Amino acid sequence: MGGVSDADALAELAVRRGFYFGSAGAYGGVAGFYTFGPQGAALKRNVEEAWRETFTTRLGNEEIAGPTVMPEAVFEASGHLDGFDDMLVACAECGESHRADHLVEDATDVEDAESLPVPEIEDLVADHGIACPDCGTALAGRSVEEFNLMFETAIGPGDGEPGYLRPETAQAIFVEFPRLKEYARTQLPFGVTQIGPAYRNEISPRRGIVRTREFTQAELEQFVDPDDDDPPLETVADVELRLYPGAEQERDGGSYLTRTVREAVEEGVVESAWVAYFLGVAREWYDRIGVDGDRLRFRQHLAGERAHYASDCWDAESEVGGGVDAAALAADPTAGRWIEIAGFSDRGAYDLSKHAEHGDEPFTLFRQYDEPREVERTTVDPDMSVLGPEYGSRAADVAEALRALAERDPSAFDDGSVTVAVDGSPVTVASDVANVSVETVTEAGEHVRPHVVEPSFGVDRTVYTLLAHGYREDEVDGEPRTSLALSPTVAPTAVGVFPLVSNDEALVDLAESVARSLRAAGLSVTYDESGNIGRRYRRQDEVGTPLCVTVDHEGREGDGPVTVTVRDRDTTAQVRLPAEGLADRLAAVVDGDRTFAALREAGAAVE
Amino acid sequence: MGGVSDADALAELAVRRGFYFGSAGAYGGVAGFYTFGPQGAALKRNVEEAWRETFTTRLGNEEIAGPTVMPEAVFEASGHLDGFDDMLVACAECGESHRADHLVEDATDVEDAESLPVPEIEDLVADHGIACPDCGTALAGRSVEEFNLMFETAIGPGDGEPGYLRPETAQAIFVEFPRLKEYARTQLPFGVTQIGPAYRNEISPRRGIVRTREFTQAELEQFVDPDDDDPPLETVADVELRLYPGAEQERDGGSYLTRTVREAVEEGVVESAWVAYFLGVAREWYDRIGVDGDRLRFRQHLAGERAHYASDCWDAESEVGGGVDAAALAADPTAGRWIEIAGFSDRGAYDLSKHAEHGDEPFTLFRQYDEPREVERTTVDPDMSVLGPEYGSRAADVAEALRALAERDPSAFDDGSVTVAVDGSPVTVASDVANVSVETVTEAGEHVRPHVVEPSFGVDRTVYTLLAHGYREDEVDGEPRTSLALSPTVAPTAVGVFPLVSNDEALVDLAESVARSLRAAGLSVTYDESGNIGRRYRRQDEVGTPLCVTVDHEGREGDGPVTVTVRDRDTTAQVRLPAEGLADRLAAVVDGDRTFAALREAGAAVE
């Protein structure tokens, strides 16, 4: 593997063959918004479906679909309203806006400028004489503004209520936890997934579909018992991971650690067993959809990158720069151009706590004890005939304060008197007026706030990775050829079907019936009868179709069964096979149960 | 069919069993935004997949995925910026906003108030003493405002550029026509589909998922040759349609016309053959996904409802009110509560013309002639040695005006002199200075602007229709039962699999292996071992699972092959079948190739 990819050649192919292109080109385009053409939309759907199969169905989770527009209160709670900012500096001369932290990182040896306060960034811009990258005017003295990356809108008539396009799909899951736990029959652990659009009003969208303003996320929120739950680690214990821990990133000449999931947990390289488990599941999934393992790594967030609530966080990164071979990439983690394609983080109780604080629900779950427990509970029954005359209209509040205190700190009533605060003033009451009693009650369980472990995937970047890793230029019969070595799992078309010529009715009929039988077997088929056969192969090669079936005269000659030829995209090798039973044989190759080489041994090779 | 559905009971079931619920309930909710829970998200996905299979794959179209946020220029061209308004009147007393046209329709016999100008609506509100429906205060004298229904946002840093959440998926197709025609190899007719979110900032969202602010559309834009293309009508010629033409709607005691697609076209009941074709395809599709044919009709838009550019427009409507039986519904088109679930319109060249006018592309397609044509073309080659001295710096503009005139109206040069306008002033030039010549050129084809026929489906309303038509209350063994008679094509779960008891390891193992084999056959399976068997059946009945398989002790007794029982949701009838080969048999029922009754005959009935 490890083909050479060229970003420009890939972008050209993407537009020409309908994978993706900048939207609204007839109106000059709008940066950061892309349209997936027929091929790209199919590839993207197949990636989503493969993700669903693994992260929803196979792991036994449930998928929901929430709205993309959500009210302000949700993002007040989540912290996005205050904290989801980029630092922006606008040039006085040309008016262009830039990420101030990026300018500082480029001009200085500061590595994580985003974490610095604004005044410090302003000073760094001035001290290092940083200039506008567009027009060269000095930016010293320009104010750096915090720019919120959420798209804002207004919901409802008139001026409406503020609403925002969700910056991540996750919030549409967290905020519905009170219902989702019911659907999971209030049993931990349970996982909820969502695949859908998310939005970030990036200041400088760039690199095609790698950094866009509207993108698709596939997220799993795994709700786990903070005390009890372990992941089913054994299912992925032996999966090997290429890990790039924080310590290795910070060490001069640091290198990758290759560990199985089990080793990574046992050695503490990955702190959270749940995170390690999902790294293993992800590694197998990337394999299945055709990500090149030599160009994939799991990189731990450095302390400065990590959200304050995340106790451990790793990114999946893919290498998409090309031009560096597998051995060199393995030897030097700083070689190549890597992009983040997924994040795995242990978010603790942060999200549900925040929503409990801001919302009207407790965001907890009732966890049954294995056996009911007897607990002593202190209750008070204040004597209102005493409190009434003494505190008048405040008597009820005093009684309430005593009840709350009994729940919070029963031992406070051990002395002769207790003091509670009512409307901010201390009130002291004799203990016996409170009528303290201790009863033994049976409790079936307790309310707990689940922790959340989140694997979060960028679908567009995954698609980009598959194209970059699959891109090939070679020669066939002395002619240059471009092809995409896409996995049959995700290729837009599984099988191309052609009659050798389009003016022979018998061949056309037969080809059409082959196409029908393959479709009936669940394979995605493209039927093509236009242009010479070589050109049709090239068309399918360019969109990554793994197999092509050609119906020719030879296959209908003689008394034997009708045969067709099947061609393999990557080797261009061909084999002649009976038309009968073809669907099952090709489905086996597409499903990965059989190789093309095995198919070739079973049939008559075609030279 | 024709079960009784109750909107409240359905809404309760939808929330309790995870079909859908109002979003962000912990924050008091936000009107018009819904979250699809696990069952609803699966049902909705299956509806989308079934739509894709019919309207994209089977019809040979291509699907794309465009962004949901689009720049203002697109909606200037499409007319949404100016024309996509609701008339709004706000109560002076309580501040609540209302649709002024709806208030007028409710209070008067005006039927299509939306088409009236604002001052007339204001007069009608005053003249009829219309009051605020919430607080009863008179609305006379309050101004009626046009309120644009698009959600607005800002793209990019600073104040940004205005952008809008697309009010329909269609524009994301129209605007990319210049590229999409290339992917279709510039051959008409071709169709492009898209399934995705669309947004309307409704003033009064209501009735659950029937009128929301964020919803999912499935749209097909069929680009056809304005002169040549006919639909493949024969494929649906005999499909029967219940039609409710405009004339019948306007006639006292008007009734439905039942016509095949062929008859509808031949008799001119449906004017556009393409529209009639899509009505036929839709009718078959609705059948397949389980819409009750007795509660489905196609209603023609009245002149006032129709967009000015649509030459013919029909809606698919479903009856969701319940309480009216099939015979009464058939007899009286005004009975029942109907909602629009799809629209079919012949949009002519409107959309592409608008984008050609506003955008930088011609939005045409080069149509090759069957044979190249010889045409005479008049050209001019103005004598600059004459024009130069006479017109100085304007000479080039005069020459250009002469060239343009020759293209537009060659006969203008037949006289001795011609007059052209340059910068608004007339300029008269002797014909021979223009050097007119006529040459014969060969043209391979011409540029044409395709027409668009659009079937547009509301996915959420289709989901609502399936729930309303499937909702059943009956009695089983003397106990009340709620069930959903969903088609196996769209049911969230195809087969429930249970071990009779959960504490027998052999039964559990066997049930799990049955579940695995069914999943491997592509069936969606829910495995459940909690609670008594009756309760597990009820759970699956409520979410519309057509078949349940129970693994019991009896099936493992004796020397014969292992057997299991299969239960039918609607009849609760059971049959005992061998575990071996079960997947194929159940898949045949789920795919509609075999009935449960036939399955029952093949096995041993269970009482």
Q: Quote the DSSP letter at residue A473.
A: E
What chain A residue is nearest to B178 in terms of C-alpha separation? A26
pLDDT digits 0-9 by tens, B162-181 = 999 999 999 999 999 999 99
Measured between CB atoms, does B139 come within 8 Å of chain A? no
- Cross-chain Cβ contact B65/A40 below 8 Å: yes
User: Averaged over B347-354, what is the pLDDT?
Assistant: 95
Measured between CB atoms, does A42 come within 8 Å of chain B? yes
Q: In whole angstroms, what is the distance from residue B578 CA to residue B556 CA?
A: 10
Give the closest-approach CA distance of A352 to chain B in angstroms: 12
Measured between CB atoms, does A31 come within 8 Å of chain B? yes
- Cross-chain Cβ contact B361/A44 below 8 Å: no
Q: In whole angstroms, what is the distance from residue B194 CA to residue B163 CA?
A: 20
pLDDT of the residue at B111: 79
Predicted confidence band of residue B605 (pLDDT cuts 50, 70, 90):
low
Ordered by start, the domain boundaries in chain B are: 372-446, 493-606
Report residue A507 as tokens. Answer: 């061949």
> In a 3-state reduction of DSSP, which class is residue B447?
strand
C-beta of residue B84 within 8 angstroms of C-beta of residue B166: no
Closest CA to B347 of B311, B314, B301, B303: B311
Q: In whole angstroms, what is the distance from residue B543 CA to residue B192 CA?
A: 33
Report residue A530 as tokens. Answer: 């236009």
Report residue A130 as tokens. Answer: 């940083």
Half-sphere exposure of A574 (CA within 13 A, CB side): 13
Q: In whole angstroms, what is the distance from residue B319 CA to residue B468 CA?
A: 9
Report the DSSP beta bridge partners of residue A496: A526, A548
pLDDT of the residue at B409: 84
Report the DSSP beta bridge partners of residue A62: A192
H or E segment to which residue B73 belongs: helix B72-78
What chain B residue is nearest to A72 in terms of C-alpha separation? B27
pLDDT digits 0-9 by tens, B190-203 = 999 999 999 999 98
Ramachandran category for residue A392: left, alpha or beta (phi over 0 → left; psi -120 to 50 → alpha): left
C-beta of residue B349 within 8 angstroms of C-beta of residue B450: yes
H or E segment to which residue B138 belongs: none
- Cross-chain Cβ contact B65/A24 below 8 Å: no
Residue with tokens 């000073």: A123
**Chain B residues touching A65 at Cβ < 8 A:** 35-36, 40-41, 44
Strand pairing category for A471-476 and A479-484:
antiparallel
A positions 157-176 inside 8 Å of B (CB): 157-158, 160-161, 163, 165, 172, 175-176
- In this structure, of A492-496, B114-118, B500-504, the range with the lowest mean pLDDT score is B114-118
pLDDT digits 0-9 by tens, B371-419 = 999 988 888 889 888 888 988 888 888 988 888 888 888 888 888 888 8
Closest CA to B283 of B272, B294, B269, B273: B294
Report the DSSP beta bridge partners of residue A606: A574
- Cβ burial of B553 (10 Å; 0-12, 13-18, 19+) is exposed
CATH 3.30.1490 assigned to domain A372-446? The reply is no
Q: In whole angstroms, what is the distance from residue B76 CA to residue B82 CA?
A: 7
Nearest Cβ partner for A151 among B74, B153, B158: B153
Report the share of chain A in percent with pLDDT over 70: 98
- pLDDT value at A478 more than 70: yes
- Cβ burial of B573 (10 Å; 0-12, 13-18, 19+) is middle
What residues contact residue A502 under an 8 Å CB cut-off, 6+ apart? A508, A529, A530
Closest CA to A223 of A87, A120, A58, A347: A347
- Phi/psi of residue A101, nearest 5 degrees: -65, -35
Give the closest-approach CA distance of A431 to chain B in angstroms: 39
- CA dihedral (A439, A443, A449, A454) in degrees, to 10, reads 160
- Cross-chain Cβ contact B26/A361 below 8 Å: yes
> In a 3-state reduction of DSSP, which class is residue A270?
coil
User: Averaged over A389-414, what is the pLDDT?
Assistant: 86
DSSP string of B545-579, one letter each residue: --EEEEE-SGGG-SSS--EEEEEETTT--EEEEES
DSSP string of A50-104, one letter each residue: HHIIIIIIITT-EE-B--SEEEHHHHHHHSHHHH-EEEEEE-TTT--EEEHHHHH
Measured between CB atoms, does A94 come within 8 Å of chain B? no
A positions 521-580 inside 8 Å of B (CB): 522, 530
Q: In whole angstroms, what is the distance from residue B62 CA to residue B190 CA?
A: 8
What residues contact residue B404 under an 8 Å CB cut-off, 6+ apart? B420
pLDDT digits 0-9 by tens, B299-327 = 999 887 777 677 789 999 999 987 889 99
- pLDDT value at A1 more than 70: no
pLDDT digits 0-9 by tens, A167-201 = 999 999 999 999 999 999 989 999 999 999 999 99
CATH 3.30.420.40 assigned to domain A493-606? The reply is no
Report residue B456 as tokens. Answer: 């547009």
**Chain B residues touching A185 at Cβ < 8 A:** 530
Report residue A118 as tokens. Answer: 């604004």
Half-sphere exposure of B13 (CA within 13 A, CB side): 26
Radius of gyration of chain B (CA): 31
Chain centroid offset of residue A579 CA: 42
Mean pLDDT of chain A: 92
Predicted confidence band of residue A605 (pLDDT cuts 50, 70, 90):
low
Q: In whole angstroms, what is the distance from residue B103 CA to residue B181 CA?
A: 45
Measured between CB atoms, does A146 come within 8 Å of chain B? no
**Chain B residues touching A163 at Cβ < 8 A:** 30, 151
Measured between CB atoms, does A63 come within 8 Å of chain B? yes
Nearest Cβ partner for A27 among B40, B74, B147: B74
- Cross-chain Cβ contact B65/A36 below 8 Å: yes
pTM listed for this prediction: 0.91
pLDDT of the residue at B607: 54
- Cross-chain Cβ contact B151/A42 below 8 Å: no
DSSP string of B317-374, one letter each residue: EEE-S-SS-HHHHHH-TTSS-EEEEEEEEEEETHHHHHHHHHSSS---EEEEEEEEEE
pLDDT of the residue at A355: 97
pLDDT digits 0-9 by tens, B488-508 = 999 999 999 999 999 999 999
Predicted confidence band of residue B421 (pLDDT cuts 50, 70, 90):
confident
DSSP string of B181-200, one letter each residue: HHHTTT-SSEEEEEEEEEE-
Q: What one-letter code names the amino acid at A4? A: V
C-beta of residue A134 within 8 angstroms of C-beta of residue A96: yes
Beta strands in A156-270 (DSSP E): 161-165, 190-199, 214-224, 240-244, 257-260
**Chain A residues touching B178 at Cβ < 8 A:** 25-26
Predicted confidence band of residue A5 (pLDDT cuts 50, 70, 90):
very low
pLDDT of the residue at B572: 95
Q: In whole angstroms, what is the distance from residue B83 CA to residue B75 CA?
A: 10
Measured between CB atoms, does B27 come within 8 Å of chain A? yes
Measured between CB atoms, does B201 come within 8 Å of chain A? yes
- Phi/psi of residue A154, nearest 5 degrees: -125, 130
Measured between CB atoms, does B605 come within 8 Å of chain A? no
Q: In whole angstroms, what is the distance from residue A105 CA to residue A98 CA?
A: 13
Q: What one-letter code names the amino acid at A272? A: S
Give the residue with greater pLDDT, A6 vs B156: B156
Closest CA to A450 of A367, A556, A332: A367
Radius of gyration of chain A (CA): 31
pLDDT of the residue at A96: 86
Predicted confidence band of residue A607 (pLDDT cuts 50, 70, 90):
low
Mean pLDDT of chain B: 92
- Cross-chain Cβ contact B360/A28 below 8 Å: yes
Q: What is the largest CA-CA distance in chain B?
A: 113
**Chain A residues touching B38 at Cβ < 8 A:** 62-64, 183, 192
pLDDT of the residue at B1: 35
C-beta of residue A485 within 8 angstroms of C-beta of residue A531: no
Residue with tokens 């003689």: A558
A positions 412-451 inside 8 Å of B (CB): none
C-beta of residue A558 within 8 angstroms of C-beta of residue A537: no
Nearest Cβ partner for B26 among A34, A44, A359: A359
Predicted confidence band of residue A348 (pLDDT cuts 50, 70, 90):
very high
pLDDT of the residue at A509: 94
Nearest Cβ partner for B27 among A33, A192, A359: A359
**Chain B residues touching A62 at Cβ < 8 A:** 18, 37-38
Q: What one-letter code names the amino acid at A103? A: L
pLDDT digits 0-9 by tens, A413-433 = 888 888 888 888 888 888 888
Closest CA to A186 of A423, A444, A513: A444
Give the closest-approach CA distance of B258 to chain A in angstroms: 33
Report residue A166 as tokens. Answer: 């969700």
Interface test with B, best of A23, A169, A357 (most B CBs within 10 A): A23
Report residue B581 as tokens. Answer: 């080969």
What residues contact residue B419 under an 8 Å CB cut-off, 6+ apart? B426, B427, B428, B429
- In this structure, of A251-265, A286-300, B3-17, B117-131, the range with the lowest mean pLDDT score is B3-17
Q: In whole angstroms, what is the distance from residue B318 CA to residue B340 CA?
A: 7
Give the closest-approach CA distance of B358 to chain A in angstroms: 8
pLDDT of the residue at B424: 81
- Identify the top-confidence range among A546-560, B53-67, B300-314: B53-67
User: Averaged over B118-134, what is the pLDDT?
Assistant: 93
Q: Quote the DSSP letter at residue A227.
A: T
**Chain B residues touching A66 at Cβ < 8 A:** 23, 35-36
